[in-house]
Amino acid sequence: MSNPMYQISMLGPTRVGKTSLISTISKMVGTKLLTGTPISFETEDLATEKKLAMHDKELRGSINAGSIGGESFNAGALAGTQSPFKFKFSLKSMNDESMLDFEILDFPGGWLDPASRPDGAGQQWKDCEKWITESAVIIIPVEATVIMSAASPKELRAIEDNIQSEAIAKIVRQWAKNRAYNYPGEPSVVIFAPTKCESYFIDNVRTTGKNQSSELYEKVNKYYSGVIEAIQDEFTSGSNAFILYTAVDTIGCVDLRRGDWKVDNEHTLRFMGTYSVIPSKKGIQPKGADDIFITICKTMVQAYRISEEVRLEEISMEYQYSQSEAEEARKIAETDEGFIGNFLSWVDGSKKAKRKTASNKEGIASEHNKNKASQETRLQTISEIIKEISERTLSNRTKVIK
């Protein structure tokens, strides 16, 4: 029996680090969160595997270059997303049974602004919009250095050009309308995920200096207030919708050395960060991304349980109906029609036909019963295996936005 496929979308401007965030989630899940469990986290196609491997290679190359002689690391050196791409993942059990399948849509961040969207990308963008509105989880990466570094009036005015919160709010509102109307019983989640947070926390590789985590949280609420309000407007109180905040160190062993605001080729003032590599024996040490995965798991498990329980009810009804038909057919086939009636039924073959009909219906009932037992076992097994992940406590980097 195939699993349903859950849709997740990334909504963020260009160069915010969407691919880096997906890669970080993937690595943390595989090397930390699922360690010691009978569950594995795997890519589901070669395209996803290649894209993540290429990104990791570029990142490690940049980090290694920045580790020599105190050189700096330039996050802008990593290639950005050039076309829509779906990262395909699966949670699998020890016997390689796929339990939860999900795909994460990433698209060029510049497409958020209609003025920057290529003329030939109309259909691709429509496909992206459809995917986004049907997603159970929306992840909004936030470039922490942009909202934390802007100081002058000119830089503060440029924040919106860098984060595209107004464009995101319009898309999120359509998503919220669709989820509230078509999926009222299923969980719907938006996760604000500030990236490049290494310079604002002191709980990872950087353990000294100023802790600006509270200020970062307040600024995310401030600059994305329109997005938050759009979600709250569309979902009624008591609905199964959640807005979370999770700050992520996508690299860990870096610290913001210098931030420059420069006008790009499109005449937009952009923030460009240069980072120092912090010497560390462990190298890259991301933090916070596992909270995002735990949240995804909680959402998927709840939605999965709802759909599987509905399916179990359908299978149970099929079994009950087929079992009743089988019992009735057997009763008719074995009815004593008296000596003459039984003899005539034997002669004309009707008794044999009735028994064959009864056997066929009993076979159908038996198959439905097997399906019912299999579904019950499946529901129980998946609930038990995923329980360990979905019930884990989120770290202090995650907050609920009300």
pLDDT, tens only, 127-158: 999 999 999 999 999 999 999 999 999 999 99
For residues 276 and 69, the model is more confident at 276
Per-position DSSP letters for 294-307, written without gaps between them: HHHHHHHHHHHHHH
d(CA 167, CA 160): 10
Confidence (pLDDT) at 165: 96
For residues 259 and 94, the model is more confident at 259
State the DSSP code for 286: -
DSSP-assigned beta bridge partners for residue 22: none
List, for residues 280-309, the tens digit of each pLDDT value.
777 788 999 999 988 888 777 776 666 666
Confidence (pLDDT) at 369: 63
End-to-end C-alpha distance for the chain, whole angstroms: 39
d(CA 397, CA 191): 12
Q: Is the pLDDT of residue 49 over 80?
A: yes
Q: Is 39 left (phi over 0), alpha (psi -120 to 50) or beta?
A: beta
Q: What are phi and psi of 293, to 5 degrees?
A: -65, -40
5-10 vs 241-246, strand pairing mode: unpaired
| The residue to which tokens 């997906």 are assigned | 22
d(CA 173, CA 228): 9
Q: What is the residue type of 268?
A: T
Lowest mean pLDDT, pick from 69-83, 90-104, 286-300 = 69-83
The whole-number average pLDDT for the span 164-193 is: 93
Confidence (pLDDT) at 334: 55
pTM of the model as a whole:
0.81
Confidence of residue 318 (pLDDT cuts 50, 70, 90): low
Confidence (pLDDT) at 17: 85
List, for residues 321-357, the tens digit of each pLDDT value.
556 655 555 565 555 555 554 444 444 445 455 556 6
Confidence (pLDDT) at 365: 60
Confidence (pLDDT) at 347: 44
